[in-house]
C-alpha cells in the first residue's frame, strides 16, 4: 500500500470492540489503549493531554504556547493533565510555536484512489516539496468519523494547514476541528463561502464544449446529462444553453436526455436521441463514461464517429478518452492545477487574509478525433 494509507488498530473498551484509524506513519510505540490508562513505554502526545483534560487538541496547543485566549480553569485542567501524564515537550512543540512544522495535510474522500483525480495530490505535492514541506495525505472514503479522526491526527502532528479535496464538485460540511489551522478547499465549497476554494469553471466548460460543436458546423446538438442535480450537472447544462443562444439557436427539450452518469446511461440516452424523428448530428456528454456508452450506441446503429455523429465530452479521463476509437475530444478537469493552487495559497496564507477567494479554474479543451 502507498505510505500515506492508514491502518486500523482494534481497540477494546468494556465489552465492545471498535475500530480506531491510525496513520501508517504513527510509530509502533504509539499504541492505542482503552480508558484513561496510558502506556508506560510510549511518548505522551498532545492528543493524550486533550483526552485527559477533556478539551480539544487546539486548546492544548494554545496552553503549551501560552496563548492568552484560554480561560484560567481550562488552562489549569490542561496543566494538571500535563503533570499527571509526565509530558515533555519535544522539537515538534517548538515547531508548533513557530508555525514551522514544515508539513501540510490533505484530506480527501476518494481522489487518492482514482488515477485521474489523483492529480490533485500530485499538484499539491510538487508545491509542498519545492517549499521543503511534507504533504500528509489521508483518503477517508467519505466516512465522517474517519474524517474527523484524520483531522485530529494531522493537528496532533502540527500541520501548518490542511487542503480538503473532494472527488466531485459539491458543497461540503467540514469536521468541526478542521478550522484550527488554515484550510483551503479543492473541488468543493462551504455554504457561506468563508474558506478559500478552487473549483472547475463548469459553466464555461459546458459553453466551450457546445461552442466547439457549433464552430464545426453542427446546428442540432444533443446533450446527454447526469440525472442527479449537482453543481457540475447544473452548470454544464447552463453553459450548453448559453452557447446555443449565443449561436442563434433555440433550446429544444427533446435533445436533452438525463441518465445515470455511467456507460449504460450514456448508451440508453444516445439510443433515445438516435430514434428521434430528427436526430442530432452531434452530442455533448456529461462525462467520458457516458460518452463511452454513447459510442457503443452510435456504432450499433451502423453510424461513424465523427462523420455521422460528432461526440464531445467532459473530464478527460485520459486512460479512457485517449483509448476510445476514435479518440474522444473532452473538456479537461484541471485537477493538477487545482492542487498546485491550493498548496501555494495555503503556504502563503499562513499570514492572515481578510477575504477568502472563490476561484473558478478554466477547463481546457483536449481535441482528439471525435468531432
Range of the domain at 55: 9-97
Would you say residue 153 lies in a domain? yes
Is residue 366 a part of any domain in this protein?
no
Q: Where are the beta strands (DSSP E) in 178-294?
A: 183-189, 197-200, 221-226, 256-259, 282-285
In a domain, 371, yes or no: no
pLDDT for the residue numbered 84: 85
207 plus 240 within the same structural domain: yes
Say yes or no to pLDDT of 20 above 50: no
User: Is the domain of 178 the same as that of 208?
Assistant: no
Q: Does residue 3 lie in a domain region? A: no
Answer whether residue 262 is part of any domain.
yes
- 61 band by pLDDT with thresholds 50, 70 and 90: confident
The reported pTM is 0.74
- Do 23 and 169 fall within a single domain? no
Count the domains in the chain.
3
Q: Which three cell numbers stand for residue 322?
A: 485517449
Q: Residue 241's pLDDT is what?
A: 99
Residue 137 parent element (H or E): strand 134-139
pLDDT for res 95: 52
Residue 191 CA to residue 201 CA, distance in Å, equals 18
Rounded to the nearest 10 degrees, the angle between the axes of helix 144-156 and helix 57-64 is: 10
Q: Does one domain contain both 289 and 185? A: no
In this prediction, residue 359 carries a pLDDT of 97
Task: Kindly state whether residues 93 and 163 are assigned to the same domain.
Answer: no
Backbone CA torsion sign across 48, 50, 56, 60: negative
Considering the domain architecture, whether residues 193 and 114 belong to the same structural domain is answered as yes
Domain-embedded: residue 4: no
Residues 321 and 287 in one domain: yes
Amino acid at each position: 500500500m502507498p505510505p500515506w494509507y492508514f491502518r486500523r488498530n482494534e481497540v477494546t473498551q468494556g465489552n465492545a470492540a471498535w475500530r480506531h484509524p491510525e496513520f501508517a506513519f504513527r510509530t509502533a510505540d504509539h499504541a492505542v489503549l482503552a480508558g484513561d490508562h496510558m502506556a508506560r513505554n510510549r511518548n505522551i502526545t498532545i492528543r493524550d493531554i486533550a483526552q485527559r483534560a477533556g478539551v480539544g487538541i487546539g486548546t492544548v496547543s494554545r496552553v503549551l504556547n501560552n496563548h492568552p485566549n484560554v480561560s484560567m480553569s481550562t488552562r489549569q485542567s490542561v496543566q494538571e493533565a500535563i503533570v499527571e501524564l509526565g509530558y515533555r515537550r519535544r522539537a515538534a512543540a517548538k515547531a508548533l510555536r513557530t508555525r514551522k512544522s514544515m508539513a501540510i495535510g490533505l484530506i480527501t474522500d476518494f481522489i487518492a484512489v482514482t488515477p485521474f483525480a489523483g492529480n490533485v495530490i500530485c499538484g499539491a505535492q510538487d508545491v509542498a516539496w519545492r517549499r521543503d514541506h511534507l504533504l500528509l495525505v489521508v483518503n477517508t472514503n467519505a466516512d465522517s468519523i474517519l474524517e474527523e479522526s484524520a483531522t485530529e491526527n494531522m493537528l496532533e502532528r502540527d500541520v501548518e494547514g490542511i487542503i480538503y479535496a473532494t472527488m466531485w464538485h459539491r458543497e461540503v460540511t467540514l469536521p468541526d476541528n478542521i478550522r484550527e489551522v488554515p484550510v483551503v478547499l479543492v473541488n468543493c465549497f462551504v455554504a457561506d463561502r468563508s474558506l478559500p476554494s478552487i473549483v472547475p469553471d463548469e459553466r464555461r466548460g459546458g459553453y466551450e464544449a457546445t461552442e466547439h460543436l457549433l464552430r464545426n458546423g453542427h446546428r442540432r446538438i444533443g446533450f446527454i446529462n447526469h440525472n442527479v442535480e449537482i453543481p457540475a450537472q447544473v452548470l454544464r447544462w447552463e453553459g450548453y444553453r448559453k452557447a446555443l443562444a449565443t449561436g442563434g439557436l433555440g433550446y429544444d427539450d427533446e435533445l436533452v436526455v438525463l441518465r445515470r452518469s455511467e456507460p449504460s446511461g450514456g448508451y440508453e440516452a444516445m439510443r433515445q436521441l438516435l430514434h428521434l424523428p430528427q436526430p442530432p448530428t452531434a452530442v455533448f456528454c456529461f462525462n467520458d463514461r457516458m460518452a463511452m456508452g454513447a459510442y457503443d450506441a452510435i456504432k450499433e446503429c451502423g453510424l461513424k464517429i465523427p462523420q455521422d455523429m460528432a461526440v464531445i465530452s467532459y473530464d478527460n479521463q485520459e486512460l479512457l478518452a485517449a483509448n476510445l476509437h476514435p479518440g474522444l475530444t473532452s473538456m479537461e478537469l484541471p485537477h493538477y492545477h487545482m492542487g498546485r493552487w491550493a498548496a501555494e495559497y495555503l503556504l502563503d496564507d499562513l499570514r492572515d487574509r481578510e477575504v477568502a477567494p472563490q476561484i473558478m479554474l478554466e477547463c481546457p479543451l483536449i481535441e482528439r478525433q471525435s468531432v
